[in-house]
Structures are given as structure tokens and as C-alpha cells.
Amino acid sequence: MIIGTAGHIDHGKTTLVKVLTGVDTDRLKEEKARGITIELGFAYAKFVGEAVTGFIDVPGHERFVHTMLAGAGGIDYALIVVAADDGIKPQTLEHLAILDLLGISRGVVALTKADLADEARRLEVMAEIEVMLAPTALAGAEIIPVSAATGEGIDALKERLADAERATDRLSSAGRFRLAVDRCFTLSGAGTVVTGTVLSGSVSVGDQVTVSPSGLSARIRSIHAQNRQAERGFAGQRCALNLAGDGISKDAIERGDMVLDPVLHAPAERIDAELAVLSSEAKPVGEWFSARLHHASAEVGVRIVPLEDPVAPGSRGRVQLVLDKPIAAAVGDRFILRDVSAQRTIGGGKFLDLRAPLRKRRTPERLAQLSAASLPDAGEALAAALEISPFLVDLDVFARDRALSGDELQAAVRAASVSVIEAPSARFGLSATQRQAFSQDVRRVLSGFHGDNTDLQGIGRERLRLQVTPRLPAPAFLVALRAEQAAGAVVLEGAFVRLPGHEVRLNEREEALFARILPHLEGEERFRPPRVRDFAEMFGIDEREIRAVLKLSARLGRVDQIRHDHFFLRDTTAEMVEIIRDVAARAENGEFVAGLFRDRVNNGRKVAIEILEFFDRQGVTLRRGDIRRVNPHRLDLYGGPGSFSGSAPGAGQGRESSPVGRPDFKSGWGSEAVLGGFDSHSLPPNPSPPDGEHS
């Protein structure tokens, strides 16, 4: 258990801690000289068996409240100190308000210097304390008169603290590890050491951790937990971690940093939160209100944007916090706001969403999402989020932002009866109802498309994705479509999707003509098939009839129009994609020239260039001058191994969108826009014919 002291300067906090633990927490020379606590002081005692109780002695002077806040974030139990001769003072009230805003509901009041007050004075101050505690979560806390000088009440106080230690629920160590750094220093022979309170999870000697928000990586060399050498530190303990790693030094880590599981490193600088404003404030917290935000051991400037009405004194409201610099945090963490001059506490609350949007932050859907996020139980919060637009949750982000372990996430998924879509780079959750609605919507869109386009093979995959609710990211959408196909609900044909019963067919005459054409598209000549005019001369049939049959066959997915009036079998197109993959894999840096492809297909340079330009337009290849490279995001267009299946090297790594049609600003690759593609149209684009030619 971690006990935090609270109270006005010179009311005897440090002296009381020394009597309880035998440790003088005023250790700095400046503190000794001035007789006040400036920095956080730490002490430990055993009140119950081998259980070690930690004390954080915080400064009481108003100028050092920001230091008090650095230690207040991790305490389990409050030891409020009020001097019997002096009574309640301003910092007593401010410390109590902070404890209440942090949600601390367990504590005891020590009426110190009891030897300096007669019985009447004691009763008077105790009555004032009861009134002071009444509107807070510490209402009804026991008040024990004590005297460090005479020893009065010390044994009774120790017994109350022992009872609190016995009653303290062990914090779960199943979550991801987070330690809020309040000190960093160097020890001779050891190196860099950080101290702080473990907010969640556990850590062991040898574990890899990340210092956030800087992102420095480190290894745990040794651990002191509750002032004892240990192999492991747990949530609820004060720990000292000896860190080693590139860039790890006393100057690289500071109070306010968080040492955490590398999975959790995702600093936040725009956070939606619930804010309670103290009734002592003179005016509401309105648009772009400036303040200082205290979270765990961090302090940072913040501007506040109310998401509904301005938050009036004595009330609560939802706000967006725009931070001056990013911090490491988790959903549900508590925070305190103080004014920019550090003169007073304004209010506090808890974080709801670490990835708050810049736009559309006040829509009804957004406010509903925040209501779901405010639920403390992860399973309930997940279930509620899945019933709100966009009806989809990135489960890995959900777990990361709540510091959930893998087991805790699985428990939440089970509790919420989530349907999970396992994409290569992320996992997405839908409610069972929405998963069924997705399947129905896919069939509805396909049915409507077939009704309006009876002569088309099917709808383009990307076009379908944009019309279906819930709208899944492209990798997850392909996984979901494959599941629909496995269930017999849809058919995937390259980049097209259709219902199983839908089929565009050639009539008897057209089939007979295509049967005559087919042998000339296969075999050794498949990479250099005849053109439309060649077939017309060969069969003595009008070019327009040949062209019409081949274009309809292209819609059926049998052939692809590589160039005007030049058609290749779909299987040949897929084979050429694999040849391009192989050529690129064998080339230095994956970059190749047209000649390497021409030699593999044993074709003339002109036709080889036309084929490669077709793949450029589809985004399968990216061109810079005479050099090309493969775009892994489009390799699945012709039924080959695709980026979304995770089989292509470097593919499916969770990028927001395919680089097709936009420049790669580092290399200049793909700077020319792609003229279409199966992911954006229901059909491959028909390139403009060369000058003088018409379809």
C-alpha cells in the first residue's frame, strides 16, 4: 500500500512520517535549512507481517503543490494532517480537493500537535474537519489526535494504517506495465536509476521497456520494490529501476516521463476527458481556456475546448484537452488542472479518449462514443462502443490505450460477445448484430448492382467496401469478404465481387467466336497474342464483332485489355504479375528495367512496354523514368498473392492507404497519378486509343 500525506505547511507531516517509520524524509540540504519539504520524500514501514507500506511525504507550501501532484497520482490511502493549534488552512483545503478529484476515498486524519491544544480546542478543530470532509469521497474518515512529542495516539494511528494495509486490494498485475517517473539520478557503479509508482502491470529484471514520450528503449538491470531488492515490481509498489540502453542517461529522462511496456508507447497530445470544476472557481471553463495539466508525475500546458456547454463551477462536463506537448497516459487515468500562474486548483477529472479528433468533435455520434468510453469496465466499454457508429473497434488500439494485457483484452472480447476480424496488421471487433448486418448489407449492395448492371461481371471490391456498413478498413474488408465467400454468400473473382447466382454469359454465337479466339491466346504465344484486326483478317469477320466479344469477355474476367484492341487471358495476366514479382526480387533494390521483363516473356520491346504500362496504370508497378518497382499493395488484383493476405514481402503492414496515385515523397516513386484501377472502379480502365484509332 502507498500512503500519501496531505496538509498545510508546518503542520507536522514530515515529523509524523518519521515517528511512524523512523525515516526523516527531509533529506536535501536546502530542505533541512528551510525546515520544509520541497521535493517528494519517501519512507517505508512494516505494519502487517512482511508487507511493506510506503509513504510519500509531499510538500505543503503552495509554491510546491505541483511537486505534491507528482506523488499524488499513485497513492492508495490518504494521511491528512491538520495541526490542532492551527486548524484548517488553505493548503489543507487544496490538498483535500486534489485527493477528491483523484478519486481517493480511503484515508485517515491525524490531528497533530495535540499536546498544544486543550480538549475544547481539539473538539472544535475535529468538528471543522468533519464539515470539511463531508462533501468529499473521504467523508466520515476517522480523526485521531496524535503528538510526536509525547507519543499520544501514535500506536492507534499505526493500528489504523495496519488495518488499511490488510484491507487493501492487491492491484492486478495482469495489465501492461507503467511506472510514472518522479526522480531520475545516477548511482556510481549502477548507472541511471528512475523511481516512481507502478500504476499498472508488473516488470521483471531483464525486461525491455520504453521511456515515453521520448521513445527511448531500455533494459531493466535491477529493481528495488518498496525499498528492497527484488526480481519483480508490481502495480501499487514504489519501485526504483536501474536502466541500461542507448541514449539512457540522467539528462535523457525527467519527471513526468513514463517507463512502460513497449506496446503502450503511443503518446497523446489531444485528449477527450471528463472535467469537474471546483465550486470555488469564479467563472466557467470556456473555449480555449488555458491551464496547467497534472497527470501522474507529468505537468504540461493545456488549452481546453468544451465539447458541450462551458463547464460551470461546481459542475461536470466533457472537454477536449489540447496539450502543449505529448504525454504517456491511459484511458481512465485521473488528472488535475491548475491555473497558469500555479496559484490555485481549478478542477480535475479522467481521460476518456487519447486519440481525440480535431474535427467533428461535438457530433452526437462522438459524444455517444465518449459515453461508452467513460464506462470503467473494459468489457462494458467495448460492448457499448460497438453499438455506436462506426460500429467498429480496433481491438489492438483499444487494449493499448487502456493498458490491457492480452488476457484482459480476451476477457473483454468474451464479455462483449465480439465478432473478431483478424486482418494481417490489426484486429477489428464488431458486435454479433453488426457482423450479421454487414453480411446482409454486402448482399443488398451486390443485388442492387447486379440489377442495374446485368451485363457486368461484378462490382469492384473497393467500390463495394465504400457502400457497406460498417465500413471496414481495406485489409479487414478483404478478410471479411473471404469469410463470406467461404460461407457461400459471395464469389470473389480477382478484384470483382458478385453473388453466387449472378453470371454474365455470352450468347451462343459469341461463345462460338470466343472458342475460335481462345487457342490463339494460350500456349507459347500467350505473351504476344494477335490483336483485334489480326483476328478479323484471320477469321474474315468484322473488327467490331471481334472487339465486342473480347470486351464482354473482359467484363467476365476471362481476358484483360492490355492495350487498345490487344487482349490477354486473365491467367496470362496473373502469370505476368508473378514474372514481374520474380524479376523485381532478383533485381538490386527491387528495381528493374523493361528489358528484364521483355527477356522473360520473350516478347518484342514495344509489346513488353505496353504490358508494363498497363500494370503501371493498375498500380501493380510504380515507375520512375525507365525504372520500375513492384507495389505490394496491388499484387492481389489478378488473383495472385496479395498484400492483404500478408504473403507479399512487406505487404499488409497497416498503412492507411495504397501509395497508388500519390507520390512517395522520399523517392519520387509513383509521382504520376494512376488512371484508375480495379480498387476504384468496377472495371479495368479502357486506355485511350493511340491517335487515329477508335474503338
DSSP 38-53: -S-EEEEEEEETTEEE
What fold does the segment set 268-362 form as a domain?
Answer: Elongation Factor Tu (Ef-tu); domain 3 (2.40.30)
Q: Classify 178-264 by CATH class.
A: mainly beta
Q: Is the pLDDT of residue 660 over 70?
A: no
pLDDT range class, residue 685, cuts 50, 70, 90: very low
* Tens digits of residue pLDDT in 364-421: 999 999 999 999 899 999 999 999 989 999 999 999 999 999 999 999 999 999 999 9
Pairing of strands 202-204, 232-234: antiparallel
**Of residues 522, 517, 552, the one with CA closest to residue 535:** 517
Of 169-178, 257-266, 613-622, the poorest mean pLDDT is in: 169-178
Q: Classify 433-498 by CATH class.
A: mainly alpha
Strand intervals (E) in 423-495: 427-431, 459-460, 491-493
Residues of each domain in the chain carrying CATH 1.10.10.10: 433-498
Residue type, 682: S
When pLDDT is averaged across residues 675-689 and rounded to a whole number, the result is: 35
Residue 570: HSE in the Cβ half-sphere, 13 Å Cα cutoff: 19
Q: Is the pLDDT of residue 37 over 80?
A: no
Burial class for 378, CB neighbours closer than 10 Å (0-12, 13-18, 19+)? buried
C-alpha cell at 522: 494460350
Residue 550: HSE in the Cβ half-sphere, 13 Å Cα cutoff: 31
Q: Are 473 and 656 in contact (CB under 8 A)?
A: no
Q: Is the pLDDT of residue 676 over 50?
A: no
The whole-model pTM stands at 0.70
Residue 398: HSE in the Cβ half-sphere, 13 Å Cα cutoff: 28
Q: Classify 2-167 by CATH class.
A: alpha beta
When pLDDT is averaged across residues 417-429 and rounded to a whole number, the result is: 90
pLDDT at 25 (0 to 100): 56
pLDDT at 545 (0 to 100): 93
pLDDT range class, residue 490, cuts 50, 70, 90: very high
Residue 444: HSE in the Cβ half-sphere, 13 Å Cα cutoff: 10
When pLDDT is averaged across residues 557-568 and rounded to a whole number, the result is: 91
Q: Is the pLDDT of residue 554 over 90?
A: no
pLDDT at 234 (0 to 100): 84
- Average pLDDT over the chain reads 83
* Tens digits of residue pLDDT in 81-140: 999 988 998 888 888 888 888 888 899 999 999 989 899 999 999 999 999 999 998 999
How far apart CA 12 and CA 15 sit, in angstroms, is 5
Residues of each domain in the chain carrying CATH 2.40.30.10: 178-264, 268-362
Q: Is the pLDDT of residue 41 over 80?
A: no
pLDDT at 39 (0 to 100): 45
pLDDT at 59 (0 to 100): 56
pLDDT at 686 (0 to 100): 40
Q: What are phi and psi of 5, to 5 degrees?
A: -80, 155
* Tens digits of residue pLDDT in 169-197: 555 566 899 999 988 989 888 899 998 88
pLDDT at 496 (0 to 100): 86
pLDDT at 639 (0 to 100): 59
When pLDDT is averaged across residues 473-490 and rounded to a whole number, the result is: 92
pLDDT at 637 (0 to 100): 73
When pLDDT is averaged across residues 654-659 and rounded to a whole number, the result is: 34
When pLDDT is averaged across residues 504-516 and rounded to a whole number, the result is: 87
Q: Are 554 and 563 in contact (CB under 8 A)?
A: no
Of 123-127, 424-428, 464-468, the poorest mean pLDDT is in: 424-428
Compute, in degrees rounded to 10, the torsion defined by CA atoms 591, 596, 597, 598. Answer: 150
Q: Are 558 and 607 in contact (CB under 8 A)?
A: no
Q: Measured at the alpha carbon of residue 298, what is the angle toward residues 297 and 299, in degrees to the nearest 5? A: 125
pLDDT at 657 (0 to 100): 33
When pLDDT is averaged across residues 211-235 and rounded to a whole number, the result is: 90
